[in-house]
Structures are given as structure tokens and as C-alpha cells.
Structure 1
């Protein structure tokens, strides 16, 4: 039975980690994630919400199943394979939102950091705790934390292995929004739907521009902007929105993702 469930709520795809009580990541979980990302790549939705069932989002990697018996060459190959899934998730041409309602450790936190936006319940806690087994995060968490919060904060989270509350990580620009525990699921879905209702093709262009900045700084992003923004003038969404703006003023446009 798959540990991940992919459903569709109109234009929003919802990918749920559903293997309580701990929602641990192992080879099967990553294979299921890879398959889901492949499906979403083949038929992109207008947005993706990632969430989890159970009391915790995830207690991280199943150490007994994944680490036992690994030597250096096989471990390197494993991390390269799992990072390839992270890269494909980041390359989806739609906004991606990760909703964390509770404890979110190691692999799950790294998947969350690969999403465009991270929202959390007020009681949620996060940690990259690989130090307890003598490891450093191997699915991209360290560098993605550095991109969001700076190198010093990334070193702190990884080297201490402490658990950090959602509100602290919001101040550090790791978490985008914190919602109350009561009604968190509805708030997270509403936030994702708000993003999905926007100009999907423009969101994809925004993702490409941000990626250019992360890869090469402001000047590289500047080189990417003319084509990324220019191509939008061939989309139905922009043409219809411009017409609506001229005819009725701002705030009346609707978008179809075309």
C-alpha cells in the first residue's frame, strides 16, 4: 500500500503523506514520491498542496530500514537518487505549498524546503536532527535553509539538531505563514487555493526567475526576466486580464492557467 495519496481538488492537487503514526520516510516512500512527481510533471495542476495525516507530519527517515548496512558508495548513490526527486519537485511548473501541522523532521523538513511556500500550525516544530546518528542532512535541507534564512542560521539548525517552533522559523524566513492550530487544515488549503486562483503561467515564470537568482544572483535573474516575462504576453490569462483591467479596472480578472 502506498504511503502517499494523490488527489485533486479542482485545479489543486493534494499529495498526502499517510502512514501514521510516524509517517517515516524509507525507500518505498521516496519511490511513491517520485511516482507522484512524475504524474504531476506529465499533467501539471495549477498548484500542489503537500500535507500529512496523523499527529505528526513525519519523524523523519526510517533509520533501521534505510541506513543499516549502507557503505559510503551506496549511501552516495542513494542521496543522489533522492536528491533527483527533490529537484523534480522543485521544477514543477506550478506553485507548491507544504502544510506542516505538527512535528516535521529530517526528510520531511527537506521536502518542505523544496516547496515554494511553507505554512505551519502554531504548535508545529521543525528539526534537522541528523547529528544524532552522525550524519548531515543529505536531501538538500542545509543549502535550502541557507537560501531562506542565511548561512549562519542553517549551520545553527543543523549543528545543534534542536527543534524549532514555527513562529521562530517564520521570523527567520523559513516558514511563510503561521496559522492557528484550530482550523489549520482549512486555512492551509485556503491559502493554497488563493495561490492556485492566480495566474498559473506567471507563477511558473516567477519560479524560473527566483531559480535564476538562486543559481547566479541578481544579474543572472535579470538575464532571465525579458523572456520569462515577455512570453506571458502570449498567454490567454494575461491578455484577458489586461482587457479586464482596461475595461473595468483592477481586481476583476479571473485566470484559467492558460
Structure 2
């Protein structure tokens, strides 16, 4: 694995490559997603994450999210109303409009989210009050803050299990959710893991251990620097050719998990690319 010095060098080169090859300088002050405050918004967001799982993200965004069809199917965020439904009734009323989410099993999960939300709000008053009890740090200023972050994440995961909250069990989705809630982490999706594997910052592109390792590596890099994990996430996605940023870049670099034949990449030139052909 890389030393701290190598890590900082590699991530610095990724930032530099993106800045030099962006068509326009990315507006890093602009958040990649809003921070959800209202309990209804939080319910809708969790269900939205479920809708995306295993589906074509662009299709779901354009046909279901932007058109407001998922929100309509979820009673505009009224989780008490959704909690009363049966999967059969849910499917009969709304499946045709939102079937691009692919799996009808997701409807059962969304009902499960509604019922878990109902329990959480009844006991804690609000979802934010529930999260506050775990003392997740909002800012990472030291390694101990990062340790506390992951200790809290493990406790939150156990609490979700106790409340039978579906949809937030895997690391990728939970990190995505917490990022949207304003916490200092990032979604370790396949592009982030591919880039970090290709430059030797994680051993493999899959597996819970490596997903956590990827997030923690970025968190450690950001400590003491004028950059957040969310912003670093954007640099990794732009470097890896994520479709949302395709039109923002003159070129991309880390688009393959196989052998790389891009000879004018500075990371390759300096010997940090582990898949160089």
C-alpha cells in the first residue's frame, strides 16, 4: 500500500490533472447534492437511493425523479401514509409509472423505510435528533475525529438494523446518504473505487473492507487541507470519466479497470499507475 507521502502526491496529481483538463474550472463551492433537513425529505431521499440500486441511474433520474413520479408514488413524503400500504396495493397503484426502477421488491423496501421512519420519529421526535445521539463529527480535524466517525457509523448501522430500516445496509448507500445529510464522507461508488485501485490506494475495487478503506483514505487526506471529502469525490469522478461530468472535461484518464495505455498521464509518468500497459 501507499505511504502517506505517496497518497498525498497521487491525490494532488489527480486534482491537478482535472484542473488542467476541465473545459471550465469546476464550481467546487456548489454542492453535488442538497442537505436534507425535513423528515419527509429524508424519507424521500432514502427511497430515492433504493430506486437507483441496480437500475439505470440516468433513466431513473429523467423518467421518475425529475418528473416527480416517485414523490407522487410515495404520497409526497408522507411516510405515515406509505407505512399503511401493502406491497400488492403499492404495485397495483403505482408500478406502471415507476417501473424503470426495475425490481418490484423495492416497493416492499420503501414501505419498510416508511415504517422504520415512523418508529424513529415516534421515539426521537425527528430523524436529525436520532442522528445527533450518535455524535457523528461534522468536521474532521484529526485522526481521532475519523475514528469517531467510523465508530458512530457502526452504531448507526446497528440502530438501523434494530429499526428494520432497509436500503441503508451496504456501505456505498449509507455513505451516500450521510454525505447528503452533510457529514464528511463520500459515496464509494465503482468509479471512485476504480480510480483509487488503479493508483494503488486500495487493494481491490469491491468488498466492504475496501469501500471503507477508500472513504477513510480520502478523509485522512482532507484533514488539515482546504478541501472536503465531497469536493475530493468530485475530482475523482471527473478524473474517472463519470457520465455527469463527461461534457465538463476535455479528456478523462482513469476510465478502465484493465490495462491503461494512456502515456501522457502524469500519474503514470511518475510510476503510480498499477495497470499501466
Normalised by the length of structure 2, the TM-score is 0.30
Normalised by the length of structure 1, the TM-score is 0.32
Q: Which has the higher helix share?
A: 2
Q: Which has the higher strand share?
A: 1
